[in-house]
Structure 1
């Protein structure tokens, strides 16, 4: 879907992006991570030609982006930024319907699409359609920004630190909503963030950048198992890499069958992450947890000893390869 071939970007004598090559498949959720000034936002903005690349080639579906009219290119790529970029004197409904109107959709189709997206993003039309951006909370405004980016049903969505300005609770909720949205819509998403936990939770393709270059890329588990160098290891949490990895696994995938007796008073749902379950073990001073289904019925147990055995076996497997 998106390919960058030896792409470089200079601002005068300053080298912002240095010989970057990436392939992002259709339906991938690709997160660009790195410290401030590493070139991740510049890389993102070159994809929709908000910034023109200096050298190399960027293509969409095999066609060079410079073969497209720049305005038409941007209208087929959704774009979400941290500040939302909503027009302050336009209503929520008008903001969301911007691109379909520019594409000259019939008014009835625009209205139906706006209504559909407001419902999809938890913004009831009767409550929010006629509100203005200043009347929204940060989380509501960001939902409107996502809805506007999706309005013309683009195949590609570019997101530049969209949740960076939000409080932790709102941010976590929007991350969950974006994950559910992606599972439903299967867009090709390029997501810039400096928050490695956010990247690990959302992306299936992780790209770590430093000083304008790609240091390592792969699946989150590949990078957690085998970081390329000390910088990547530090980006992934250093000594907390094991916990980051546990945050990607679910209790249900590691539980033992239920025995004749319940293993412990402490109960956790199968949908909980291993990281959260380990926290419960520490809190409740136990090595075993009862796993329950959504109806609170016991369905298995989680054993610390089994997790440690699995971890040792996994490390041995990694060394062999």
Structure 2
């Protein structure tokens, strides 16, 4: 879907992005992560030509992006940023319908699309359609920003630190919503963040950048278990990598069949993470947990020994 081939970006004598190559498959959620100034946001903005690349080629669906008119290219890509970029003097409904209006959709089609997206993102038409951005919470405004980015049904969604200014609870909630949204819509998403926990939680394809270069990319578990160098290892938390890995694995991958003795008093859902299970064990002083399904029915058990001592075969 997206190919960057030996792409470099220079600002005068300074090199912001240095000879990177990257492929993002259709329907994949690719996360660019790294410290401030590593080139990840510049890379994102080169994809929709907000910034022009200096060398190399960028392809969308096999075609070089410079063969598209800038306006045409940008309208087929949704773009969501940290500050939302909502027009303060426009209502929520008008903000969401911006790109369809630019594309000269009929009014009835725009209205239907606005209603569809607001429902998809949990925003009641009656409550929010006529509000202005200053009347929204941070999480609500960010949902409107995502809805606007999706309004013209683009194949590609670019997201630059979209949840960076939110409190941890709202941020985690929106991360969950993004994953659920992606499971339904199957958009190709390139997402920029400096937060490693967010990157690990969201990514299908994780790309680590440092000083303008890609130092490692692959599946999140692959990078956690086999960091390419000391920088990647430290970025993932060094000795804390075990807990980060546990946050990615569901209890169902470690649980065992129910034993013949009495079930453990403490319970955990089978889709909870191993990190959550460990937290429950420590908090409740329990060495065993009964694993339950969505209906609360026991389906297995998890022991502390199994949690920390099982072979990593997933």
TM-score clears 0.5: yes
Question: Match of 2:29?
Answer: 29
* Distance (whole Å) between structure 2 residues aligned to residue 3 and residue 80 of structure 1: 20
Whole-Å Cα distance in 1 between the matches of residues 262 and 301 of structure 2?
8
The reply to whether residue 180 of structure 1 matches residue 187 of structure 2 is no
Q: What is the CA RMSD across the aligned residues, in angstroms? A: 1.1
Structure 1 residue 294 displacement after superposition: 2.2
Q: What corresponds to 1:226 in structure 2?
A: 226
- Does the CA-based 8 Å contact 1:262-1:290 persist in structure 2? no
Deviates more, 1:52-61 or 1:285-294: 285-294
1:258-294 per-residue CA deviation (whole Å, 9 max, x = no partner) reads: 1223342111111110011011111122221111122
Distance 1:305 1:178 in 2: 34
What is the SS of the residue equivalent to 1:57? Answer: strand
Is 1:8 paired with 2:8? yes
1:111-260 map, 5 Å: 111-260=111-260
What's 1:285 paired with?
A: 285
Q: Helix, strand or coil for the counterpart of 2:249?
A: coil
* Residues 32-43 of structure 1 aligned to structure 2 (within 5 Å): 32-43=32-43
d(CA) in 2 for partners of 1:67, 1:302 = 56
1:104 aligns with 2:104: yes
Alignment partners' CA distance in 2, 1:17 and 1:93: 37
Shift of 1:187: 0.4
The whole-number CA distance in structure 2 between the counterparts of 1:297 and 1:205 is 34
Q: Secondary structure of the equivalent of 1:243?
A: helix
Contact 1:44 1:160 in 2 (8 A): yes
Tell me if 1:79 matches 2:79.
Answer: yes
* TM-score normalised to structure 2 length: 0.98
Any idea what the Cα deviations from partners look like across 1:211-263, whole Å, max 9, x if unmatched?
A: 00000000001101100001000111110111111111111222111122334
Would you say how many aligned residue pairs link Structure 1 and Structure 2?
Answer: 314
Q: Distance in 2 between matches of 1:126 and 1:16?
A: 46
Whole-angstrom CA distance in 2 between matches of 1:261 and 1:102: 66
How many Å apart are 1:297 and its aligned residue? 2.0
Q: Quote the Cα distance in structure 2 between the aligned partners of 1:7 and 1:262.
A: 61
Per-residue CA shift, 1:136-157, capped at 9, x if unaligned?
A: 0000000000000000000000
Q: Give SS of 1:256's match.
A: coil
Deviation track 1:79-131 (CA, whole Å, cap 9, x = no partner) reads: 00000000010000000000011111111000000000000000010110000
Q: Which moved more, 1:145-154 or 1:263-272?
A: 263-272
What residue is the counterpart of 1:89 in the other structure?
89
**Stretch deviating more after TM superposition (290-299 or 136-145):** 290-299
1:270 maps onto 2:253 in alignment: no
Q: In 1, are the aligned partners of 2:92 and 2:128 still within 8 Å (CA)? A: yes
SS at 1:10 equivalent = strand
Q: Which runs of 5+ in 2 are unaligned?
A: none
Alpha-carbon offset, residue 299 of structure 1? 1.6
Q: Contact 1:84/1:141 (CA < 8 Å) preserved in 2?
A: yes
| Alpha-carbon distance in 2 for matches of 1:194, 1:209 | 10
Is the contact made by 2:293 and 2:299 (CA closer than 8 Å) also made in structure 1? yes
TM (norm. structure 1) is: 0.96
8 Å CA contact retained: 1:40, 1:192: yes
Deviates more, 1:142-151 or 1:259-268: 259-268
Q: Which runs of 5+ in 1 are unaligned?
A: none
